[in-house]
Amino acid sequence: MSNLTKDVCLYDINNRPLTISGIEIYLCDANSGKIHDRQLSHDLNPGSAGAPSDTWGVQLTFPAGNTPVDIFTADPTYIYPGNTVRYLNGELYDRIDLDLLALPPSPGGQSNPPASPMPSDLAKWVATAPAWDPMQKRAVNNLIFNYLNVILPHLDKIQSLDLQKIAENWEKALSKLNILPDLLTKSTTIPQNAVAYS
């Protein structure tokens, strides 16, 4: 069986095309953590005179075989990092449509940092942010808990897994929201579905 090239199309949370270039989309092996492909978002179907289309995203080459794959996002503007889709069946001939959550542009205005790296304390801290609306809070939780699930279990071998650039992008985004990555690395509770990459 040969590799498959698929369109991965990007949308905002209201299912409108996300007509933004430069969002980094990574395709990783869900078992080993190996990066199979990485592309920057762009217009997938520009008009004859260069007019923009409503189909933006990337074309990723999915490996042959029956190993599940993950999709991770990173973003140099720190608006859309931390979005993930886990355990995809890469053998199917289909287009993948992703709705990406957007992080708030600034810290939430809480007077104190999170009380601890425990998931319940982190979620409570996000919930009390006076400057974030409910959807922004959902996006912040998405980034925090995907960091705990994807990055934290593998910090000791992250360079060998090629996840270093993803980790650095997510950590910078966390820092811009006044969430110190060092706090998250002290967490002793890893989500149940964390993958033990080998």
Q: How many residues does the chain have?
A: 198
CATH number of the domain encompassing residue 79: 2.60.40
Is the dihedral angle over the CA atoms 173, 142, 150, 72 positive or is it negative?
negative
Give the Cβ contact number of residue 125 at 10 Å. Answer: 20
What would the pLDDT profile of 92-103 be if each residue is shown by its tens digit? 777 899 999 999
φ/ψ region of 87 (left if φ > 0, alpha if ψ in -120 to 50, else beta) reads left
What would the pLDDT profile of 141-152 be if each residue is shown by its tens digit? 999 999 999 988
Domain for residue 189, yes or no? no
Query: Residue 146: which residues within 8 A CB-CB, separation 6 or more?
Result: 82, 83, 84, 170
Kindly state whether residues 56 and 8 are assigned to the same domain.
yes
Kindly state whether residues 79 and 160 are assigned to the same domain.
no
The residue whose two tokens read 């980094």 is 24
Is pLDDT above 70 for 187?
no
* Count: domains in the chain: 2
When comparing pLDDT for 113 and 39, which is higher?
A: 39
Kindly state whether residues 26 and 93 are assigned to the same domain.
yes
Position 196 scores a pLDDT of 43
Kindly state whether residues 91 and 41 are assigned to the same domain.
yes
What would the pLDDT profile of 17-26 be if each residue is shown by its tens digit? 999 999 999 9
Domain for residue 104, yes or no? no
Is the dihedral angle over the CA atoms 95, 76, 174, 158 positive or is it negative?
positive
Residue 155: domain span: 119-184
Q: β-pairing, 56-62 with 69-74?
A: unpaired
**In the listed set 99, 128, 157, which residue is the last one of a domain according to the structure?**
99
Nearest 5°: the CA angle 93, 96, 101 is 170
